[in-house]
Structure 1
Amino acid sequence: MSSPYYFPIDLLGFHRPRPHLREYVSQIPVLKQESRRCIRALANYTPRRQNIKYPRERCAAVLVALFVGRKGDLYVLLSKRASTLRTYAGHTALPGGKADENDRNAEETARREAFEEIGLLTDKSRVPLLCVLEPFLAGGCLIVTPVVVLVLDNTLRPVLNAPEVAQLFSHPLASFLSTDSPFPLDQSAVEFPYHSYEDIPFRKDPSRKIRAHRFLTGREAGGVKPIFGVTANIMIRVASIGYSLEPEFLLKAPNQPGMRERIKYALKGNDRAQARTKL
């Protein structure tokens, strides 16, 4: 009988130094020094040990697919969810979804979902793993593990699964630490702040708040929604680790509960219907 708990409880197994990282980086024609340092920092990242058991039906993973742009900067692939989906229709998201019973770990979940949604190959020589981060809580019920990879092959072309993904685009990784818009000529950047946030009451104690960040995509005029909530928080974390910098804005609300506390509280709940929500 298979274990009722999701496999990668000890995330440290994902974070052995990559012996071929130098070889991977050498394949990139143009790479800024700060991008090189960012890739190295992510590949060497070791997460805090997790002592919580996660029921498989509550687990999901997202793929943070980084690639190097023409000028040597790092970007992340983001998608606009299809308007016909039952949950989070039209939202901006990372490729990902709930764990399948055949997935051995979070990396397999994230890679499988990214292949199904946007056609990103699971070939680890062309899309090597950099790191797996500590889990995040999404929607008060799903435990989402971010899996960070580097897309080396610039000949890869997306194949969108229309029932799930309406559009695929990229966003500068460093911009998740800034309050300045990377799209200065976009009209929405003039009318609205590039970065904003909303403090949401913690269900266990409404007097404590959880800060949800929001970033404009520069595509709002075309119907693309801002990057918000768990997707924004994941990207802030990835950028902070990679560039070894704190964001220019206040990351947390005063007295904000930590992620471990929030996950423990969510696991104590009995509302399994929420756990069936598609990421």
Structure 2
Amino acid sequence: MSQPGAKYLNEKSLKALELLRSHPYPVDNFHTSKRYAVLVALIANNDGDLEVILTVRSTLLRTGAGDSACPGGKMDLDDVDLIATAKREAWEEVRLPPSESQLLTISAPILSRQMQLVTPIVVYCPNMTTADISSLCPNPGEVDAIFTTPLEYFLNPQPELHSFIEMQWTHSLHRIHSFEGCGASNHVIREQELTSKNDRRPTSSLASSRKIDRTNVGWIVYGMTANILLEVGKIAYQREPAFQMYAQGQITDVGRNAEWFNDSFRPRSSL
């Protein structure tokens, strides 16, 4: 692996890390014991810019098959906090050692489409660069590929590679972003294992569209993962995306979202 040190980062990236470190943790008023966390792991590329480590979920999974995502999962009873959850999941999914990542900040919790409350844990891996991506190992059954993409790309993508849809979700209109061409130049593909016909699980048409060979064209990052990376990018580079991020009237206040969640999922009296 490359040697640790700030010499691998340019001035813009050093400033971005400082802005992330100084960003205050969000107030978390969501009332639920079921918690999930993802690791937004940043590493330097050859130009000293920051890239994020992402995975392609196995096409054998029951939910999110074939989707691009940050490593992560559900908090276990043995996890001391959500930071431990995110680091443990990254170790299990891609063999990123917990000791290799340094905490920068915690981003605001976000609801997945399955109504899971997900907290992004933002870290920097000083001992790694994008040239070291081959040292990571996709976990069979969970991850089909690992790739990296510049964090700043999500703020200023090529127009033809960015699209969005709008939909009514939870308690307001939401804009769902999609970014194509991610990871084409830097990725690790898991060697496909032979599986019997009975072992194959059905996947959605959306997941099926992601099963094509993307090693030359890259993968699609969309939905919750895209939103997380947009929010982290805004903090790191202190600017808005080159496009309108939110739908008109979209509720983005974490406190209001927590109120809606707590009211919608609070235990109901049987009387």
Identify unmatched segments of 5+ residues in structure 1: 1-24, 182-192, 273-279
Say if 2:69 is the partner of 1:78: no
Query: What corresponds to 1:264 in structure 2?
Result: 259
Does the CA-based 8 Å contact 2:4-2:126 persist in structure 1?
no
1:108 deviation in Å?
0.6
TM-score by length of 2: 0.78
| AA partner of residue 45 (structure 2) | G
For 1:117-171, what per-residue CA distance to the aligned partner results, in whole angstroms no more than 9, with x for missing partners? 0000011xx3211111111111151111100111111357112211000000000
Does the CA-based 8 Å contact 1:141-1:266 persist in structure 2?
no
TM-score by length of 1: 0.76
Say if 2:160 is the partner of 1:160: no
1:55-70 correspondence to structure 2 within 5 Å: 55-57=32-34, 59-70=35-46
Does the CA-based 8 Å contact 1:137-1:259 persist in structure 2?
no
Say if 2:73 is the partner of 1:97: yes
| AA partner of residue 93 (structure 2) | E
Say if 2:101 is the partner of 1:127: yes
| AA partner of residue 153 (structure 2) | S
Query: What corresponds to 1:222 in structure 2?
Result: 213
Query: What corresponds to 1:202 in structure 2?
Result: 169
| AA partner of residue 195 (structure 1) | H
| AA partner of residue 78 (structure 1) | L
For 1:169-194, what per-residue CA distance to the aligned partner results, in whole angstroms no more than 9, with x for missing partners? 0000111101327xxxxxxxxxxx21
| AA partner of residue 266 (structure 1) | F
Does the CA-based 8 Å contact 1:64-1:76 persist in structure 2?
yes
Partners of 1:145 and 1:203 lie apart in 2 by 18
Does the CA-based 8 Å contact 2:55-2:69 persist in structure 1?
yes
Q: SS of the residue aligned with 1:134? A: coil
Partners of 1:177 and 1:76 lie apart in 2 by 13
Partners of 2:84 and 2:71 lie apart in 1 by 13
Say if 2:236 is the partner of 1:242: yes
Higher relative contact order (CA 8 A, sep 6+): 2
Does the CA-based 8 Å contact 1:171-1:217 persist in structure 2?
no
Identify if the C-alpha distance between structure 1 residues 114 and 196 changes in structure 2 by more than 3 Å, giving closer, same or farther.
Answer: same
| AA partner of residue 138 (structure 1) | S
Say if 2:174 is the partner of 1:179: no
Query: What corresponds to 2:5 in structure 1?
Result: 27
RMSD over aligned Cα, in angstroms? 2.3
1:46 deviation in Å?
0.7
- Within the candidate set 125, 139, 142, 2:113 is matched to 139
Say if 2:31 is the partner of 1:54: yes
1:53 deviation in Å?
4.0
| AA partner of residue 264 (structure 2) | G
For 1:83-140, what per-residue CA distance to the aligned partner results, in whole angstroms no more than 9, with x for missing partners? 00000100000000111112121101100100000000011xx321111111111115
Does the CA-based 8 Å contact 1:137-1:262 persist in structure 2?
no
The number of aligned residues is 230
For 1:28-68, what per-residue CA distance to the aligned partner results, in whole angstroms no more than 9, with x for missing partners? 33321111110111011113423x143222x1000000000
Identify if the C-alpha distance between structure 1 residues 134 and 203 changes in structure 2 by more than 3 Å, giving closer, same or farther.
Answer: closer
Query: In percent, how many aligned pairs have the same letter?
Result: 30
Partners of 2:110 and 2:145 lie apart in 1 by 24
Moved over 4 A (4+): 218-221
1:209 deviation in Å?
1.0
Partners of 2:152 and 2:170 lie apart in 1 by 32
Identify if the C-alpha distance between structure 1 residues 201 and 33 changes in structure 2 by more than 3 Å, giving closer, same or farther.
Answer: same
Single out whichever of 41-50 and 165-174 deviates more from structure 2. 41-50
Single out whichever of 208-217 and 26-35 deviates more from structure 2. 26-35
Q: SS of the residue aligned with 1:153? A: strand
Q: SS of the residue aligned with 2:40? A: strand
Partners of 2:258 and 2:95 lie apart in 1 by 31
